[in-house]
Structure 1
Amino acid sequence: MPEPVMQSPLRSFGLASQAQPVDASRGVWANEDPLLGYISLRGDSADPTFVDRATAAISVPLPIAPCTFAVSGAVKALWVSPDEWMIVCRRDQLAALSSGLKSSLQGLRSQVADNSGGYTQVLLFGPNALDVLEHTSVYDFAGLAAGRVVGTTFGKASLYAHRTTDGFCLLMRRSFADYIWRYLARAAAPYGLGIAAIEATGRAAHGVAG
């Protein structure tokens, strides 16, 4: 039998073949950062032992303040709820991080689950990126501060969003990805949408944390 093949939920759009270096010719640039690792981590944020062990396992300070995230290298930790975090990493880091978390948190009330098949993220930037987001959501993205992550609507879907060094990162469920990309492309059309060539190394944690 053939080996399973990992595929992006946006593969039908042929984004990789359209990607080009970013320049001033478009008002909006976007592309998927595909096939990353996504780990759902649950535990007690009020337990300092849990927080310390999780931090040591992922080498990123586990954010315990609501709606915040932290980044170190190619690993990103997002606060999702008082007892849940999403750890985003390169795919080649996934096994080691998952194993390290499970080992470090043994004996503590916790859960570590690989959700890599269920999520993807899109990077959005350019001079009109904020204008596009204002067409797609009720959330005031202009007020989204560095180091903050928000769960909000996007058209009739939902996603998590935070600012990056040059724009925004939109983290979404795989089942919403096709709808969200089409909605984003339609909203960006008046400004000119370019498919950006995205560097593979380190982009899993593309962001500004504080």
Structure 2
Amino acid sequence: MKAAAGETAPAKVAAAGREVATPHGVARYQLDVPADHGGTLLVLGHGAGGDVEAPDLVAVHDAALARGVAVALVTQPYRVAGRRAPAPAAQLDAAWLAVIAELRGALDFATLVVGGRSSGARVACRTAREAGAARILALAFPLHPPGKPEKSRAEELETGVPTLVLNGDRDAFGVPGERPHVRVHVLPGETHALSKRTATLAAAAVDFVAGG
């Protein structure tokens, strides 16, 4: 994983990647553990038609490693199979939980933080309590389909788990409002891609992930 622009290279890590059989096909994860791992694992999922190389995920991955946080980047079964159209929500959630169960056997950690960008953020929110997550990191949370604010997904943020939402003020999918347990950090000039101010985004994200 290459460092994003403006980020320093992460500390030396022990990396492991493997495939996981889930109820809905084979998922894949890349697990990176820094030499100074402090006991927190951050698990991140990708957007609906994207992958784990998205600029915001890369930036958070690298910044987290530099802070002693282990990071697992998860690829859903439909993307492993080469499809761009996402699977139904229930299938995404089940596959995600299967990967987290696998990670519990692969790494000794004390604190689990779950998150992702867009669709991945929704999966993390929907499954956070069942996964036993201490915190949720939601990047570009898609509040509603573009042009359809009446179809709000705000209820998915109502987990009771401390959550940080990072969205751009030009996001066509909308920007969630703050609520109990949910902090919202709006990045000026950013669209749904969250690709312009990745260093600022990663700094805010990792402060939260690390317990700040």
* TM-score category of the 2 structures, normalised to the smaller one: under 0.3
Higher relative contact order (CA 8 A, sep 6+): 1
Structure number, greater radius of gyration? 1
TM-score normalized with structure 2 length: 0.27
